[in-house]
Structure formats: C-alpha cells, structure tokens
Amino acid sequence: MDYLKAVLNNDTTKEKYNLETLIKVGKQLNKNISKYEKALNKINSNSPTTSKKIAPIKKIEPVKVEKIEPIKKPKISDKNINNSEYTIKSVESRNNMIIIDFNTKITKDYVRFFEKSIKGGYQDIYDIKGRFKDAYPTKLSIDGVKQIVITQDKYNTLRILFEDSYNLKTIYFINNKRLVLKVLDVKNNTKKQSAAKISTSTRLQNIAKNKIVVLDAGHGGKDAGAVGSNKKYEKYVVYNVTKYLESFLKKRGYKVYLTRNGDKFIKLKNRTLMANKKDADIFISIHANSVPKSKRNKVHGLETFFLSPARSARAKRVAALENKADMDNMNYNSKNVLLSILNQSKITASNKLAIDIHKHMLYEARLMYKDIDDGGVREGPFWVLVGAQMPSVLVEVGYISHPTEGRRLYRKKYQKQLALGIANGIDSYFAKNP
C-alpha cells in the first residue's frame, strides 16, 4: 500500500524506499521479485543528471528523506517496546523447537497463530509482538520441515513461518521471558541422512534423553476402581491410556516404566516406591472419575491433581474414591498432617507439571469432542502420590459414570488422543524445566 501511494503521489524517494523493502522481504520468502527489481532499476537509471528539468528534484529530495525519519521515531517510544528498539534478544532452532528469548516477561497476548493452505502444501504462521535486530541474517531449520522463514513483518511484529507439503502440527508455550514453538510428529523428508548422523543429533539434542518417567495405571486386579454403565471398569480404561502413553514417550526418547503390566493389584505405597527405586524424574498416576447416580448426567470433564491437603469438597470426594483401596484406617486430620510433612519440597514442581499436562490433554481431547469440560488443576490428598521423591500428579481422564463420556473413554481413538495430550504436556514441562 505504501508503494502504491508513493507511485500515485509521484514521490520517487518513497517509491524507491518501498521497492527496496519489497525486494528484501521477497528474497527471504523466495518470491518472484523481478517486477520490483525492474521498477527499481528504472528509477535508478532516471536518477538526476545535468538536465535543468530534473535539477529541482535535487533540492526537494533531502526534504522528503527528512520527513520519513519521524515516522519511525514514535514507534521506538511505543510502550509495547518498553523504551527499547529491540525487545527480542535471540531466536534459535534447537531439535524440533524454535526458542525465542525476550528482554522482558511476556504473556500469551504476544502471540497470534494462524494456518494457510497453499499450492502444494501448508503453512503454520506465528506473528509475535516484538522486534529482533538479526531477523534478516538469522536462519532457522528443523529436520523434517521443508522450510522455516523468519522476517520482521512489521515494525513490532516478528513473523515465523513453518511450511511443508503435509499439514504440520505445531504448538507453543510461554515461560517467563521465553517463547517456544514446537513441531510435533516431524516427518523426516531428508533421504540421504545417514543413520549414524540422525542418532548422534537426536542423542545430543532431544530433551527426552536421560529422562525417566514412571506411569501408574490406577487400580487393577481385585480393585476395579470406578464402574460405569454395562460394568465398564476404570482399571481397564486407564491401563489402555497408560499403554498408549508409554508408546508415545518411548518413541520420543524417554525411559518409561509401568507400575503394573496387565490386570494386577498393586498397593498404593508400592507404586511410588517403584518410582523412587527407578530414580524417576516424574511420576504420573492415571485414573477415571465417577459420581453417584443422582449426579452422573451432570458431572463430566478432565481434571489433574497434585498432592497437597485438599482445599475443596470436590477434591476431597475424588481423593476419597482413589484412596479407598489402601488407606481407610487413618482419619482425615492424620492424613493431612502426614501430607504436609511429606510433600512440601515438591508441591511447586508438581503444580507446574500438572498445569502443563492438563493444558495439553484438554487441547487434544477437544480436537475430538468440543464439549469436554475443563475441571482444572487442583490440590488433593491422594495416597498414590505420597512418598514420591519427584514431581508427581494424578490425572483424571474423564468421568466413567457419565453416559456420554463413559462411552468415549472406551474408544481406542479417544484413549490415544488423551495419551497424546499427556505426552505433549510432559514435553512442555521438561522444555521449561530441563
């Protein structure tokens, strides 16, 4: 638009300035810029000579250049830039992520995401509030992604564009002054990479390497857990989700152990004992929820808990159901005292893990069913988490007592979707807390 205005106003200086900008950006995006180069060459070839008719332009031209400068100055003092011309400190590609570090703390309002279908492929585009000094020389690449383009699209908007022949699946997460863009399930399009090179690159860069995860499928054996319609048992649903989650994590490079293989009864205290013996980095217990018949048509959705004395009636109710198999012999006050002693050192880390897992699990579940209710992240006195010497959470993948949600929980495709969300949440947690 600025270029067209310059042409209509016969403003040669601005016309030339805008042509140079179009050519620069066009080269970055691999677009055909020949018509702009021809127009610029034409302007340069008609530059001032000894002709008397052109002479007045020499006097006007400096004035026009001076008028361009004030246009930029107000933007530099814009409060969004925090009185600094460059708000983005660095941008780099690492493994299957693009990591953007800012000079100040950021929020989700800094990011706008949209997708485009193009001839022969797809684009995922992130417009990020900020200015990066080295946007032009910086090169970004991820193995398996056709191209990643970085441009300073507007004065205070950095654009990062992912493009490939298949529909990429990208996500982002924010941690204080850092924004991470991550490509999930990257397909390897490079045919001539040697196996040794791929192995070395993955070993050095993959955040999953050397991370140990213990997964606990709730209940089992004589303890069926919650029971839905047509005698649908919780212990079978959560075991299937756990097995799918194990598969996803192993493919990403995590070392994974299960507290139970098959339909076995394991005491609650022995589940975290195993996690401690394996020196696990995180412990995740997977369950399905339920309510009495009078409420089963109303209550549904996903919830994620971390260990702490319960603060809500809902958390106490859920914990009472999950603790039933092992801990009926202690009164409520005794339990809370023990919880306060055992869990103080890891409450914060467990809370962070619960937030990441819940956010990604809810996102994936809603891709299949938009009416999934968000039960949120909560604190609760779950005995299966007591004694774990690492960040630990309990995930409720839905209400098996609800007529609709109970049927969904028995569908393999939905079980895989829930497992994928939990896996993505684990990735997100370790990316922010290496």
The domain total for the chain is 3
pLDDT of 46 higher than 50: yes
Rounded (5°) CA angle 140-31-135: 35
Residue 343 covered by a domain = yes
- The residue with tokens 């937030």 is 355
Same domain, 127 and 212: no
Secondary structure class of 139 (helix, strand, coil): coil
CATH of the domain at 282: 3.40.630.40
Same domain, 68 and 94: no
Q: Say if CB 153 and CB 129 are below 8 A apart.
A: no
Q: Which residues contact 206 (CB under 8 A, 6 or more apart)?
A: 95, 252, 253
pLDDT of 69 higher than 50: no
More confident residue, 164 or 45: 164
Q: What is the pLDDT of residue 58?
A: 47
Q: Identify the top-confidence range among 59-63, 131-135, 241-245.
A: 241-245
Q: Say if CB 16 and CB 43 are below 8 A apart.
A: yes
pLDDT tens string 170-180? 888 888 899 99
Give 147-155's long-range contacts (Cβ < 8 A, gap of 24+).
147/30, 148/93, 148/98, 149/28, 149/29, 150/28, 150/91, 151/25, 151/28, 151/29, 153/127, 155/72, 155/75, 155/131
Residue 192 covered by a domain = no
CB burial of residue 325 (10 Å; 0-12, 13-18, 19+):
buried
Same domain, 105 and 55: no
Dig out the tokens for 332 from the structure.
């409520």
Q: Which of residues 24, 53, 76 is at a domain's end?
A: 76
Same domain, 47 and 104: no
Q: Say if CB 125 and CB 159 are below 8 A apart.
A: yes
pLDDT band at 84 (very low <50, low <70, confident <90, very high): low
How far is the C-alpha of 242 from the C-alpha of 245, rounded, in Å?
A: 5
Q: Which residues pair with 227 in a beta bridge?
A: 233
Give me the phi and psi of 250, to 5 degrees please.
-65, -40
Q: What is the pLDDT of residue 364?
A: 93
The DSSP code for 230 is: G
How far is the C-alpha of 395 from the C-alpha of 34, rounded, in Å?
A: 57
Query: What is the identity of the amino acid at 334?
Result: S
Same domain, 261 and 367: yes
CB burial of residue 104 (10 Å; 0-12, 13-18, 19+):
middle
Same domain, 70 and 127: no
Same domain, 97 and 72: no
Same domain, 144 and 71: no
Residue 252 covered by a domain = yes
For the packed helices 234-251 and 412-432, what is the interaxial angle rounded to 10 degrees? 50
Containing domain of residue 140, as a range? 81-184
Residue 194 covered by a domain = no
Residue 295 covered by a domain = yes
Asked which of 47-51, 89-93, 418-422 is least confident by mean pLDDT, the reply is 47-51
How far is the C-alpha of 103 from the C-alpha of 81, rounded, in Å?
A: 10
Query: What is the identity of the amino acid at 244?
Result: Y
Residue 405 covered by a domain = yes
Secondary-structure breakdown of the chain: helix, strand, coil percentages, each rounded to the nearest 5 = 45, 25, 35
Secondary structure class of 165 (helix, strand, coil): coil
CATH of the domain at 152: 2.60.40
**Straight-line distance from the first to the last Cα atom of the chain, in angstroms, rounded to the nearest whole number:** 46
Residue 261 covered by a domain = yes
Same domain, 216 and 232: yes
- Of 28, 338, 43, 275, nearest to 159 by C-alpha is 28
Q: Which residues contact 300 (CB under 8 A, 6 or more apart)?
A: 372, 373, 398, 399, 402, 404, 405
Same domain, 223 and 352: yes
Residue 111 covered by a domain = yes
Q: What is the pLDDT of residue 322?
A: 59
More confident residue, 137 or 218: 218
- Of 273, 253, 272, nearest to 210 by C-alpha is 253
Q: What is the mean pLDDT of the chain?
A: 80
pLDDT band at 35 (very low <50, low <70, confident <90, very high): confident
Q: What is the pLDDT of residue 67?
A: 45
Q: What is the pLDDT of residue 164?
A: 92
Same domain, 258 and 126: no
